[in-house]
Amino acid sequence: MAKNSLRTLFVRGVVVGIVLSAVAVMTAFVMFRTNALKEPVDLYISHKADYQAVCDSLLPKVKYHTAFNLYAKRLNLEKSFKPGYYHLEPSMDVIRLVRVLKLGEQTPIRVTMNNVRIPAQLAGKLAGQIDADSVEILRVLSDSATAKRVGMTTKTLFSIFLPDTYECYWTTTPDEWVDRMKREWDRFWTEEREAKRKRAGLSRLEVMTLASIVYEETRQTDEMPRVAGVYMNRLKKGMPLQADPTIKYAMQNFGLRRILHKHLKYPSPYNTYLHKGLPPTPICMPGKNAIEAVLNYERHNYLYFCARPTFDGYHNFATSYSDHLKNARAYSAELNRRKIK
C-alpha cells in the first residue's frame, strides 16, 4: 500500500512538474515571442541620450518589462544601443525589439527644405527634422573646411541646397547632410541642363542667383520664364536689374511690403539698383521651377514688369519705360487705396 502511495505521489509530482514546465515555457513564449508593445511607438533616441532615457521613453509602452530587461542585459544593450528614429509596431516581440535597437535598424524619415532665404533659417528648419540643433547646423554651414570639401566657399555653399523632400536617417549629421546636398546638386546638373546653362552664358552660381530673384518676384510657375527673360535682357544690355527682392535681402527685412525710394539707396552689394549685374549669391533657396525657368527663359523684348493692381500674383510687362511707368502708377494707386505702406 505504501509502495502504491509513493508511486502515486511520484506520478503526481511528475505531472505537476510537466505542467509547471509547460506553464513556464508558455509564459516565456508569451513574454518573449508575442506582441511586445501596447501600441505603435515612434521612438527617437538622440546621440546625447543615455540608456536610462531610452528605458524611460520605451518601457511604459512595453508589455513585458522583465523579458525586455533580461534580453537587453543578455545583449548588453545598455552599452550598445544605437541612436536613431525607430517606428516600432505592436507585432514586434521582445527579441525583435531589442535587436532593432542593438543593430540600429532605423526607420527612414523624410526631410523637407523649402521657402528658405538665409542659412540661419535653413539651420532652424533642419533642426526640427534631424538630430542636430540649429547652432550645430549653422556652424557647419559657416565652416570654410566643409565648404571647401564640396568645392564651395562659405558664401556659395548655400547655393547647392535644392528645395525638395529627401529620405534619410534622423541621425544624419550636418556634415553628412552637406555631402548629401552636394550629391543631389551634381545629379541635378544633367547634360541637358548644363547645355542650357552654357547657352544662357551663366555659371551654375549665376543660374541659382537669378533663379532666387525670379522665385522671389513671382510664385506663378507659368510666369517665371517671362520674368527670367526680362532679367536676361537687362543683363545682356548692361542695365541694372533693379530687382525689389534684392533690396529686402540687402536690408534683411523680408516683411517689407512696399519698396520706397529711400530703400533704393541702401548700401549693399546685393542692392541691384546701385550695382549692375547679379548680386554675389542667391537671395533665397529658389524652387526648382524657378531654376528651370532661368534655364528655359522666354525670349522676348520686355525690359520691365510690375505687379498687377488686381493683386492676382501676376505682372504687367513692358518694352518701354513710359509704358512701365503707367503700369507702376496703376499699381501704386492700388497700394495707396489699400493703405499698404
Rounded to the nearest 10 degrees, the angle between the axes of helix 191-200 and helix 288-295 is: 60
Spatial separation of the C-alpha atoms in residues 233 and 301, rounded to whole Å = 7
Instruction: Check pLDDT > 50 for residue 27.
Output: no
Q: What is the pTM of this model?
A: 0.87
Spatial separation of the C-alpha atoms in residues 242 and 231, rounded to whole Å = 9
Q: Contact at 8 Å (CB) between 35 and 88?
A: no
Q: DSSP label at 108?
A: P
CA–chain centroid gap for 264, Å, is 33
Instruction: Check pLDDT > 60 for residue 10.
Output: no
CA triple 89-26-14, angle to 5 deg: 170
Q: What is the pLDDT of residues 45-58, one digit of tens each?
A: 999 999 999 999 99
Mean pLDDT of 163-179: 97
Spatial separation of the C-alpha atoms in residues 125 and 134, rounded to whole Å = 8
Residue 294 φ then ψ, to 5°: -70, -45
Q: DSSP label at 131?
A: S
pLDDT reported for residue 71: 87
Q: What is the pLDDT of residues 130-150, one digit of tens each?
A: 999 999 999 999 999 999 999
Complete domains list, the chain, with CATH: 31-107 (3.30.1490.480), 109-188 (no CATH), 191-300 (no CATH)
pLDDT reported for residue 34: 76
